[in-house]
Amino acid sequence: MKTIIFPAPNGISLCCDEKQVTSVTDVSGQKKLKSFKSKNKIIFWHFPFVRGLQYFFCGLLMLFKSLVLSFDLSGKPQKVKDLKKYYIKKLSYIIACAVVGIALAELLLGFAPNKLAYLLVDSRGSTLLRNFVMTVFKIVVFFVVVLISRFLPGMLDLLRFNRAGELAMRDIASGKSTKSQRFKAWCKGEFGVSNFCNYLIFVFLSDLIVITLVGGGFGIIYNLLFHIAIFLASTMVCYEILILIENVQALNWLKWLTFCLLFEKPTRTHIETVSIAMQEMNMLQKGREFMEDENKKSLSVVLTEVKNKLSVAGISDKSDAEWIVATVLGKNRSEMKLVPFVSDKHYDEIIKAAERRAKGESVDNIFGFTEFYGLRFDVNKKVLTPRMETELLVEQVLKAEKNFKKPTILDLGTGSGAIAVSVAKNCDATVTAVDVSKAALMVAEQNAKKNGVKVEFLHSNLFQDLKRKRKFDIIVSNPPYIPSSELSKLDKNVRECDPALALDGGEDGLDFYREIISKAGKRLNSNGIIFFEVGKGQAGDVRKLLKENGFEEIKTTKDYNKVERIVSGKYR
């Protein structure tokens, strides 16, 4: 089994192998987190029945530890001289509550139902019938006691964290899509019971029913041994039953027989607290050090806070949060995940950047640069921010240039210079780039210099200001292709941060394709190739334009979302 979750009234503890993460929300609403190496390793997940026994006792120990640790994180007294005595005091308080609870349970579930059963079925009546009546009484009392316990301080929050933890565990398990994969994962112990509190209720209720129906009468010692044996058997059998119920969809409804007592819908705060722990464990599994100082701002807490800010603002792309944090920390996204905590200075910068992004400003404009094809490019409102799909255009050009000896390449409408610079960085071709905007050319020249490549930049409206006899082996362009009528419908971030000059493609979005293709033949050497990036649904029209103007071997390449994005043609 990979992970198990134990709830507390103010947070959760997540365990995986020898790693433990505890995440809580204190009274002021602040998220706190601590991760460390745990000695309570659970090892027998692949042994049926034995794993249930292990889960019960290790789970109880972890539940008590989680309660103590979560309260400490929420506000442990600062002037504690003897931590050992402090923890013993905490544990003694919990044990005292447990003893009182057991005494009340004995009174409510033992003495009272027995008396009621004997009143309805006296000693001369059927023992089996009397035990059945007694069982019904005990079940009713058990349900009432559990329902009343929901009103105890902190109990509702514990149930909400319990439910949030279950949902997180189910998300992990959903990675095994087919029935055979889920069955194999179950046999290997990769996924166990996802709701520890429900498991506890199920065990105690099952034990109560079996012992009451069977009865006693073997003497004090034998009765005690019999009760212990039934209880231990319940911990093992109930675990297997609950796993079967969770893995067989047709049986899912059965868990509600006991889960109805515990159900409480989690709020955003509960879900976030669990997400922080899940994220922290994921980073620990990738080799990051433990976050043992709960007073520092954990990267997991900060990252979750940023994601929440963006989510509330309607920004669903989770990568934005990671880009913001990684950029402020001066790391790439992979390196960022090995950073345990964030300094106060970096935290303030991250939150300011997140607030700007939440207001609609793009990540690229917030920081003034973006990454493209493994290189860093400065961007501003004078140039179009290069998109991930355009990397495919660069890939196609780099594949084609290998077919030419000393290739010459022309980038029409270079903007930030992303295509021209990326191509020049990855091959020995002679690259020329043109743009009608002088401001864009200044940005492109700066990007070429920063990335250490030589590109010839010329001010020209497409081919207009190029020497008439100048030809190239490859022409590449990502021209404006948004129909004029659709500009107002674009995302606010695109409308406000990208120049209209780089977006407006005319009435049908094809104006620039028509002009470029009609003149490209005179600008290409024999067997020269032209490459375009096109908008969604435009590939067919561009292919037709190429064919009408004498291009052959016309090809289309789809992007990551299976949209026809790159169109190319050869001119003989």
C-alpha span between 492 and 498 (Å, rounded): 10
Task: Give the pLDDT confidence score for residue 176 in this predicted structure.
Answer: 47
- Between CA 512 and CA 519, with CA 517 as vertex, the angle to 5 degrees is 105
Strands (E) in 132-185, as ranges, are none
Task: Give the pLDDT confidence score for residue 362 in this predicted structure.
Answer: 79
Reported residue count of the chain is 572
Which residues, other chains included, contact 208 with Cβ-Cβ below 8 Å and sequence gap of 6+? 109, 135, 138, 139, 142
Number of neighbouring beta carbons within 10 Å of residue 190? 19
Task: Give the pLDDT confidence score for residue 225 in this predicted structure.
Answer: 85
3-class secondary-structure state, position 551: strand
Of 70, 49, 50, 53, residue with least CA distance to 5: 70
Q: Which CATH class is domain 370-571?
A: alpha beta
- The CA–CA distances, whole Å, from 356 to 67, 305, 352, 368, 562 equal 38, 14, 6, 13, 32
Strands (E) in 47-142, as ranges, are none
Task: Give the pLDDT confidence score for residue 42 in this predicted structure.
Answer: 61
**CA-based R_g, the chain, Å:** 33
Task: Give the pLDDT confidence score for residue 242 in this predicted structure.
Answer: 87
Task: Give the pLDDT confidence score for residue 142 in this predicted structure.
Answer: 82
Q: What are phi and psi of 471, to 5 degrees?
A: -125, 165
3-class secondary-structure state, position 348: helix
Task: Give the pLDDT confidence score for residue 463 in this predicted structure.
Answer: 93
**Residue 154 and residue 258 in contact, taking contact as beta carbons nearer than 8 Å:** no
**Residue 498 and residue 384 in contact, taking contact as beta carbons nearer than 8 Å:** yes
C-alpha span between 10 and 363 (Å, rounded): 34
Which residues, other chains included, contact 224 with Cβ-Cβ below 8 Å and sequence gap of 6+? none
Of 440, 519, 505, residue with least CA distance to 475: 519
Residue with tokens 């255009």: 393
C-alpha span between 264 and 157 (Å, rounded): 8
- The CA–CA distances, whole Å, from 300 to 307, 322, 338, 476 equal 11, 11, 11, 42
Residue with tokens 């609950």: 242
- Between β-strands 524-533 and 551-558, what pairing exists: parallel, antiparallel or unpaired? unpaired
- The CA–CA distances, whole Å, from 341 to 297, 338, 393 equal 5, 9, 38
**CA dihedral for 323, 327, 333, 339, sign (positive or negative):** negative
Q: What is the DSSP letter of 386?
A: P
**CA dihedral for 105, 241, 47, 178, sign (positive or negative):** negative
What is the crossing angle of helices 390-401 and 418-426, to 10°? 40
Q: And the tokens for 523? A: 């600008």
Q: And the tokens for 206? A: 């099952």
Q: What is the CATH number of domain 296-359?
A: 1.10.8
Of 353, 397, 407, residue with least CA distance to 373: 397
Q: What is the DSSP letter of 504?
A: B
- Between CA 162 and CA 40, with CA 276 as vertex, the angle to 5 degrees is 65
Torsion of CA 266, 272, 277, 280, to 10 degrees: 160
Of 411, 321, 435, 418, residue with least CA distance to 369: 418
Task: Give the pLDDT confidence score for residue 177 in this predicted structure.
Answer: 47
C-alpha span between 135 and 133 (Å, rounded): 5
Predicted confidence pLDDT, tens digits, the chain (572 residues): 467 888 888 888 888 878 888 888 876 677 888 888 876 666 666 778 888 888 888 888 877 777 777 777 766 554 455 555 655 665 566 566 656 665 666 566 656 666 666 667 766 667 777 778 778 888 888 888 888 888 877 788 888 998 998 888 777 665 544 555 555 555 554 556 778 888 988 898 888 888 888 766 666 787 778 888 888 999 999 988 888 887 777 887 888 888 888 888 998 888 888 888 888 888 888 788 887 776 778 888 888 888 888 888 887 666 788 888 888 888 877 778 788 888 889 999 999 999 988 888 878 788 888 888 889 898 887 788 888 889 999 999 999 999 999 999 999 999 999 999 999 999 999 999 999 999 999 999 999 999 999 999 999 999 998 998 899 999 999 998 888 777 666 665 565 555 656 566 678 889 999 999 999 999 999 999 999 999 989 999 999 999 999 999 999 999 888 899 999 999 98
Model confidence, pTM: 0.63
Sheet architecture: strand order including 456-459: 456-459, 430-435, 408-412, 472-477, 524-533, 564-571, 551-558
Number of neighbouring beta carbons within 10 Å of residue 366? 19
**CA dihedral for 75, 79, 84, 86, sign (positive or negative):** negative
Of 508, 511, 553, residue with least CA distance to 530: 553
146 torsion bin: left (phi>0), alpha (psi -120 to 50), beta (else): alpha
Of 227, 60, 238, 210, residue with least CA distance to 139: 210
Helices (H), 459-562: 492-497, 511-520, 539-548
- Between β-strands 19-25 and 31-37, what pairing exists: parallel, antiparallel or unpaired? antiparallel
| Structural domain boundaries in the chain | 4-259, 296-359, 370-571
Report how far apart the first and last C-alpha atoms of the chain are (Å, whole number).
62
**Residue 335 and residue 327 in contact, taking contact as beta carbons nearer than 8 Å:** no
